[in-house]
């Protein structure tokens, strides 16, 4: 990838070939290496996922700070260029194109929507810019949308919803109703939960879909109660998850069914409070309480606390941290910011930034990692951040993922 040309260097080129030729090589190299390593970071700072996006940015900034404090790469520091996608695929594509063409970013990390990450990925794929996605998606791993420049730091629905199904169905029953946000994320969560449930004899009574950004769920709740499932699965995100959990609780659904969420968001639980989420079980990529058993979680949490006045990182915040940290670590390993060299380094990266060992699967660059099953609690909370009990951790394994062949990748 081309280095940025400084004004000083440009002037020397214009003055004349002889002058340029007489400039010592080490001066030109020093000028080039002083450029910052730019990471574009498109994410929905406004809209129903804004709380999660803000945390992504905060943790990504921590990763940038750690890289710079450690000396950067050959004296080059890193810089995060944040842009608001407004949770809109077209806006996400436009902002990403601007980051690449106007701001000359070296890499792109970010996204917080199955749809917007596909549009970001399409732009990066066309421009041959490495993109590390930190939002859940199954489609981004499929050969038709994927490219060698595509990496997926986040869990995907097959991993997350599958883990929640494997935990909840044997304990609570086989009759399932889904309350689903009607877009790619919701659909993929349903498919993954059903896929895992089929092996255990589970049946779907209904998949009740609602528009993204729904505030009133009262029209759906009587039908859910009448269906009388063993498990109600909330396949939505952000404020949608928060509103659905609150209204299901107020309607009394918990008395006759278990409510689970493939992704039980820390930020939604904080905003919703203990009563609304009491007893709801779900999956997550990270919970700060891991620090009691995983050393790198404690190191990450302490660094975040120090930078942000004692607060702790959320699940999607942790993904922002890991997404940036993986790219910058690979720059150092590759000894280059050239895209394909960094791709090669990331393909061979074995890392433990915050939750235990991870690596990227070769065929689709999916991060192979644990899924944490948590339950929201309202009692015995040590402080306002102590919102979940960790029930179990599903270990890192490729057998719970869709195979490379199924995704359309050649063996």
Which tokens is 34 given?
A: 């002083």
Q: Give all domains of the chain, ordered by start, each with its CATH number.
A: 37-155+291-369 (3.40.50.2300), 158-284+373-394 (3.40.50.2300)
Q: Is the pTM of this model over 0.85?
A: yes
Rounded Cα distance between 155 and 157, Å, is 7
pLDDT for the residue 127: 98
**How remote is the C-alpha of 117 from its chain's centroid?**
10
Which tokens is 187 given?
A: 């659909």
Rounded Cα distance between 55 and 44, Å, is 11
Instruction: For residue 72, give Cα distances in angstroms to 136, 225, 256, 331.
Output: 29, 56, 56, 10
pLDDT for the residue 411: 63
DSSP type of residue 278: T
Residue with tokens 């394909």: 340
pLDDT for the residue 396: 79
Angle at 297 (CA atoms; ends 313, 315), nearest 5 degrees: 35
Residue with tokens 């769920």: 217
| Dihedral sign for Cα atoms in the order 380, 309, 47, 96 | negative
For 117-137, give the secondary structure using H, E and C.
HHHHHHHHHHHCCCEEECCCC
pLDDT for the residue 239: 92
Mean pLDDT by 10 residues, the chain (411 residues): 44 38 41 76 94 96 98 96 97 98 98 93 98 96 96 97 98 98 94 96 98 95 98 95 97 98 95 95 98 97 98 97 98 98 98 97 97 95 94 92 95 63
Rounded Cα distance between 41 and 131, Å, is 10
Rounded Cα distance between 305 and 260, Å, is 30
């Amino acid at each position: 990838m081309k280095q940025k040309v400084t004004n000083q260097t440009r002037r020397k080129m214009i003055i004349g070939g002889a002058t340029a030729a007489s400039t010592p090589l080490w001066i030109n190299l020093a000028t080039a290496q002083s450029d910052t390593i730019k990471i574009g970071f498109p994410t929905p700072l406004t809209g129903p996922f804004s709380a999660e996006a803000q945390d992504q940015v905060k943790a990504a900034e921590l990763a940038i700070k750690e890289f710079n404090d450690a000396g950067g790469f050959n004296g080059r520091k890193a810089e995060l260029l944040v842009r608001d996608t407004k949770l809109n695929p077209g806006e996400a594509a436009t902002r990403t194109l601007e980051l690449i063409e106007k701001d000359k970013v070296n890499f792109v990390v970010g996204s917080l929507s199955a749809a917007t990450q596909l549009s970001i990925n399409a732009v990066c794929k066309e421009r041959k810019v490495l993109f590390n996605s930190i939002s859940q998606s199954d489609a981004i791993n499929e050969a038709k949308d994927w490219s060698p420049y595509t990496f997926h730091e986040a869990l995907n629905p097959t991993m997350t919803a599958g883990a929640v199904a494997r935990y909840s169905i044997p304990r609570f029953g086989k009759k399932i109703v889904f309350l689903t946000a009607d877009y790619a994320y919701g659909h993929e969560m349903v498919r993954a939960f059903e896929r895992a449930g089929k092996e255990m004899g589970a049946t779907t009574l209904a998949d009740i879909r609602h528009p993204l950004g729904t505030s009133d769920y009262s029209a759906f709740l009587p039908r859910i109660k009448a269906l009388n499932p063993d498990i109600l699965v909330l396949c939505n995100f952000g404020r949608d998850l928060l509103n659905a959990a609150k209204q299901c609780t107020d309607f009394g659904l918990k008395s006759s069914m278990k409510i689970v969420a493939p992704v039980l968001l820390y930020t939604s639980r904080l905003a919703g409070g203990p009563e609304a989420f009491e007893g709801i079980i779900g999956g997550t990529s990270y919970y700060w309480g891991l620090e009691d058993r995983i050393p790198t979680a404690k190191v990450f949490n302490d660094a975040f606390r120090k930078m942000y006045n004692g607060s702790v990182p959320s699940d999607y915040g942790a993904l922002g941290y890991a997404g940036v940290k993986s790219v910058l670590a690979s720059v150092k390993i590759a000894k280059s910011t050239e895209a394909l060299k960094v791709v090669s380094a990331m393909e061979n990266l074995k890392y433990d930034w915050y939750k235990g060992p991870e690596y990227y699967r070769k065929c689709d660059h999916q991060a192979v990692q644990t899924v944490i099953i948590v339950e929201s609690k309202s009692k015995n909370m040590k402080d306002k951040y102590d919102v979940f009990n960790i029930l179990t951790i599903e270990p890192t394994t490729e057998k719970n993922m869709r195979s490379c062949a199924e995704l359309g990748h050649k063996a």
